[in-house]
Structure 1
């Protein structure tokens, strides 16, 4: 069987689902997605779109964007977000392909933790956390945050997060993985697509982890298909990326000359990151919770946290040899922090972790980089 049953109802939006959405259940295809549907995207729907829109581009190449949502997002939410954005991408002459992946328990982890709120005060009064926290250090922030980190550990948050990361890897490294099948289908039709499209990827939150492996799968398929040299990824844009900096540096290739992939990152500055409460009374965003409670190493440096990013970039006079992250994000226009004035096309207004895919300024900037021009306005939600 090609795909596992799923709760998505393709009858509501059959055309958008068939043409633009690839559903993954864990790491394999989930219904309504099938191998036949994926093949149809690259064999028929995308070539048809190219013929309709190539005249809009001076070089005749039509952009294709692969989107991967976050790991703590349900399939239903990821699917609805895709349906909101697909018409806008198409209106701007971009062919979108959304990976909507079911990350299992990870999608409900925050809800599970939220149910502990009512019990929290009683547990503090009974001294449950006395040996772990210093109540005199900062009772308004440190204690609450440290307690939530402990609770996340108790709820098996770490193993759940690890399971999600393994699913992202398996989806793009195993033969039955949805990303593997998509990359193979893309290059199996390179005769129609090579020289006619430019490939781009956008990942939100844990979507950065998914794309780190998906881009590797694309590179592997390009190497296995002589004559598909032009069918390469031109840009990767990450929104509040939840990938660790060591994993990013290990998995991603730095830009290589004029034809190399170009990177850009949009995330909250430290002030906004701290003000974003992912859980009741937790003084910090989801990225803080991931770093402090869900990653295998406490305090793991995450790419999307400004304080971690700044440390990895080193001083202003640092070099890419000393600080490898500099090769990926060489200037301010490639690293955009929320509410920080930058030049047009490098703007971000998201002030919560989940806001990026619907933030007008962010989406305008993302599309602008892909198009090389100003897109039509992204519809405010």
Structure 2
């Protein structure tokens, strides 16, 4: 509905205004980076809209919840516990940074980064459930829907509309799928593409974008802004890893280390095709690369950022983008981005309320160490699961009868939401679960099983989840959704050694969690091992410490299941809850 309003109401009005002013309507499709949480990205988009429009550019922002900063922030926090901050030096280059890269690689970073890339791809798919776009019950990704609407709008107003795009960091991955999708659906041309410190792999860039760069190929102009290697190595991630995020991706977050990343100077200079594309060495390329810091405050090729996350806040870089979009010379005047118009929140250290902060006063320091940050450690965001579907505002879909899954099976779901915990109550979780149930029903699922508030005990969740998995058969699509508290507890069997939370199990908190009735990752792993081959299971967890709680690296299907109960939480008084 929001997308329809953009193309049916807002853009036609903007087009009329542009025509009245004797100019073309220039659209800017902006995809933010992976370190931006949804709230911060929305705030940044809101703050920038006026600046873009003051330059005669109409911005359309893709907001997607990557979860990357939260996950990496917690990983770096765990690594940092017991260690003080340290500057970059020989020790960090050759000892601590390689250890952090290895730790991130083994502790779930690859899965989180891969899930984020998968979400970026799914957003531009004609059917996120699998199969073709014309398959029964097909559900298009949000970016695909935008691309289809954009193609229709451009077809109706071809001579009066220009399409431009910019992507920061992981936003380049998003555009590696969205722009080819838009061009294939009929958008006549992307007039300019601007990549800021792109975190896209070189092989994906060469497959998806590079062949389309150049006049008459689809993307008329490409400009890439990124740091010289010396600045990449002087950057840091949360004050713990002493290089830029691109280096952490390059060495620790891809399935195979040292996979070339487009935004790294070392990757560009090591690739003959990229050197030719960007005109490095002999001859002029068909795209421009602008190395920061080049000392220029203004002009078409100005950039001054010294950090990976700083490009979208850098007046020089953003001014360069505007000049290129408007086809203005270095000396031409534009409305410059005000200096200091940057994010107020450090994405690595965004504040978060721990459970102990929400408890009654007598509980404030009665939690075991696993439930609170180390003394003196920087507060990090809670561990949030990456989205398993592309985030979008889909057009309204009328209720449908239950439909078969992608393989001809059924669509079944269990939705759980808990607000009224006896201690630390929440708000909105039940509404979220009901919204999920309603949305799944509209997407062709049978009426979901549901458990809310006091009905969502550990025993009830276990029974319903076991039944959901046990009753499934090949071809079914099943969903488990949970909104409520989540936590970590000491690992009793040592199975977390070398995982993302060594020494701790991750757990959901049923209504009766205070008496020890936690639903730990081992419990769910045992249930999910029973999943028949050919069944598609997706879990949506909105809770703390949910990142790898499903332990989807299931391994073999052998082994029994023994329900485990945790001892009650420590307490100070003898009264029951």
TM-score, scaled relative to structure 2: 0.51
**Which structure features the higher share of helix residues?**
1
Distance 2:36 2:277 in 1: 31
1: CA distance, partners of 2:105 / 2:69: 16
- Counterpart for residue 261 of structure 2: 302
Map residues 262-301 of structure 1 onto 2, 5 A cutoff: 262-301=221-260
> Whole-Å Cα distance in 2 between the matches of residues 324 and 287 of structure 1?
18
Q: Quickly say closer, same or farther: Cα 1:219–1:118, change in 2 above 3 A.
A: closer
Q: Which residue of 2 aligns with 1:22?
A: none
Q: 1:161 is matched with which residue: 113, 125, 148?
A: 113
Which of 266, 290, 298 is matched with 1:336 structurally? 290
Helix, strand or coil for the counterpart of 2:91? coil
Question: What pairs with 1:217-366 in structure 2 (closer than 5 Å)?
Answer: 217-222=181-186, 231-252=188-209, 253-257=211-215, 260-261=218-219, 262-312=221-271, 314=272, 323=273, 326-327=276-277, 330-331=284-285, 334-341=288-295, 344-366=299-321
Q: Structure 1 CA distance, aligned partners of 2:222 and 2:214?
A: 12
Tell me whether 1:180 sits opposite 2:144 in the alignment.
yes
Secondary structure, in 3 states, of the residue corresponding to 1:349? coil
Equivalent in the alignment of 1:95: 58
Structure 1 gaps, min length 5 = 1-35, 123-136, 223-227, 315-322
**Secondary structure in 2 matching 1:198:** strand
Deviations 1:224-272 (A, max 9, x none): xxxx6xx421111100000011110011124343675211000111111
Higher gyration radius (CA): 2
- C-alpha displacement of 1:50: 1.6
Conserved? CA contact 2:76–2:240, under 8 Å? no
Q: How much has 1:95 moved relative to structure 2?
A: 0.7
Distance 2:143 2:306 in 1: 30
CA 1:334 to 1:191, structure 2 compared with 1: closer, same or farther past 3 Å? closer
Quote the offset at 1:169 in angstroms.
0.3
SS of alignment partner, residue 191 of structure 2: strand
Structure 2: how far apart are the matches of 1:94 and 1:72?
Answer: 25
Distance 1:42 1:113 in 2: 41
Find the partner of 1:152 among 86, 95, 104: 104
Checking the alignment, whether the CA contact within 8 Å between 2:269 and 2:275 is kept in structure 1 is no
CA contact (8 A) 1:241 1:267 kept: yes
Greater relative contact order (Cα < 8 A, sep 6+): 1
Query: Displacement of 1:332 after TM fit?
Result: 10
Change (3 A) 1:153 1:257: closer
Residue 348 of structure 1 and its aligned partner are, at CA, apart by: 0.6
Q: What's the secondary structure of 2:28's corresponding residue?
A: strand
Work out which of the residue numbers 145, 158, 162 in structure 2 matches 1:198.
162
1:30-45 aligned within 5 A = 36-45=1-10
Listed one character per residue, the Cα deviations across residues 185-217 of structure 1 (whole Å, up to 9, x for unaligned) are 222334543221100110000000000100111
> Structure 1 residues 332 and 144 mapped into 2: Cα distance closer, same or farther (>3 Å)?
farther
| Deviates further, 46-55 or 264-273 | 46-55
State the partner residue of 1:70.
33
The 1:84–1:378 alpha-carbon spacing in structure 2 relative to 1, beyond 3 Å, is same
Residue 132 (structure 1) aligns with: none
Per-residue CA deviations over 1:89-117 (Å, capped at 9, x if unaligned) read 111111100000012x4241221123224
1:377 correspondence with 2:377: no
2-structure distance, mates of 1:371, 1:263:
14
| Conserved 8 A contact 2:268-2:274 | no
Tell me, yes or no, if the aligned pair for 2:170 and 2:199 is still in contact at 8 Å: yes
Cα pair distance change 1:78/1:153, threshold 3 Å: same
Deviation for aligned residue 1:333: 7.8
Question: Which SS does the other structure have where 1:54 is aligned?
Answer: helix
Alpha-carbon distance in structure 2 between the residues aligned to 1:38 and 1:80: 19
Which ranges of structure 2 fall in alignment gaps of 5 or more residues? 128-139, 342-577
**TM-score calculated relative to the size of structure 1:** 0.77
Distance apart, 1:331 and its partner CA: 4.7
SS of residue in 2 equivalent to 1:378: coil
Partners of 2:180 and 2:155 lie apart in 1 by 21
Separation (CA, whole Å) in 2 of partners of 1:189 and 1:171: 20
Query: What does 1:106-117 align with in structure 2 at a 5 Å threshold?
Result: 106-117=68-79
Pair 160,192 (structure 1): closer, same or farther in 2 beyond 3 Å: same
* 1:220–1:56 CA distance, 2 compared to 1 (3 A): same
Aligned-residue offset at 1:151: 1.8
Q: Deviations over 1:57-96 (max 9, x none)?
A: 5xx4221000001123210111111111110111111110
Q: Does 1:54 align with 2:19?
A: yes
In the comparison of the two structures, how many residue pairs are matched? 313
